[in-house]
Amino acid sequence: MIRTFFVGLFFGLAIILVLPCLMLWTIVSGNPDLMYGAAMKAVRFAAWIVDIRVRIEGLENIPPQTCIFVANHVSNIDPLAFIPRIPRRVGVLIKHEIFRIPILAAGMRRAKFVPVNRGDKESSGATIPLVTRNLKEGLSYAIFAEGTRSPDGRLRPFRKGSFTMAIDAGVFIVPVSIAGTLNLMKRGDWAIRPGEVVVRFGPAVDASQYTTERRAELIALVESLVAAGLPPEQQPLSSRLSTVSPPSE
């Protein structure tokens, strides 16, 4: 609990004291890279404070082209462990409640983070063309495709939005399997526990080889790749995941 308190204090001071300076530089330079890089270093430092050790596998699977990193989601620890380890700047889809923090919201918008209101279909639908445009301009995104945290840690069905954007923008999808975070901070918990997290980047799938009519096939393939990188206790119980092969080029 003490470590969790220090993480909250660290982030609060960083947002109040440091972020405004980085925001000013971003506005003057027109480039959010410095602000984003500093934020990722801050997140990694916070993980160190609470003794979260992250093991990365499969970095060689990340193509140089624009990507959507599609990951499973079981804990609030997932973004802290996963996003700073992506070896490039990415945009993130984040629940709209976090955008209520004024200074933080301004910084996230400059970095092209996008708020999502899961309870408002019209608002959620409006994010698709915005993110698709950013993808076409070369900015990769990290997305938790289940839409919310899994209550029991097992992989839930993916929503269509990520795959619609990937097909429309003609980008790669990198499946990401995150294991171990449920033990560190379960849903409803406030305290962060120390431990190891494994982040596995799976083989990339070229969404430009698919059409909207074949979107369900693409979803099934990426779900199966994410599930394959998870331990048995996080894999789905049902047999809904079938073996799907990528399209021949």
Per-residue pLDDT tens digits for 123-151: 566 789 999 999 999 999 999 999 889 98
Residue-level pLDDT at 82: 94
| Alpha-carbon span 18 to 38, nearest angstrom | 10
Is the residue at 147 inside a domain?
yes
Is the residue at 13 inside a domain?
no
Residue-level pLDDT at 205: 97
Centroid of chain to Cα 18: 24
The Cβ of residue 181 has, within 10 Å, a number of other Cβ atoms equal to 30
Domain count, the chain: 1
The pLDDT of 191-204, averaged and rounded, is 94
Is the residue at 22 inside a domain?
no
Is the residue at 114 inside a domain?
yes
Is the residue at 18 inside a domain?
no
Average per-residue pLDDT for the chain: 90
Is the residue at 12 inside a domain?
no
The range of the structural domain enclosing residue 113 comes to 53-234
Residue-level pLDDT at 187: 75
The share of the chain scoring above pLDDT 70, in percent, equals: 92
Q: 221-224: long-range contacts (C-beta < 8 A, 24 or more apart)?
A: 221/245, 221/246, 222/70, 222/145, 222/158, 222/163, 222/173, 222/175, 223/155, 223/157, 223/158
pTM of the shown model: 0.89
> Is residue 78 within 8 Å of 183, Cβ to Cβ?
no
CB contact set of 232 (below 8 Å; sequence gap of 6+): none
Is the residue at 136 inside a domain?
yes
The pLDDT of 145-163, averaged and rounded, is 92
Is the residue at 21 inside a domain?
no
Question: What are the tokens at 204?
Answer: 């990339």
Residue-level pLDDT at 241: 56
Question: What are the tokens at 235?
Answer: 């894999």
| Alpha-carbon span 115 to 248, nearest angstrom | 36
DSSP letter, residue 157? P
**Residue predicted with more confidence, 240 or 214:** 214
Question: pLDDT-derived band of residue 154, with 50, 70 and 90 as boundaries?
Answer: very high
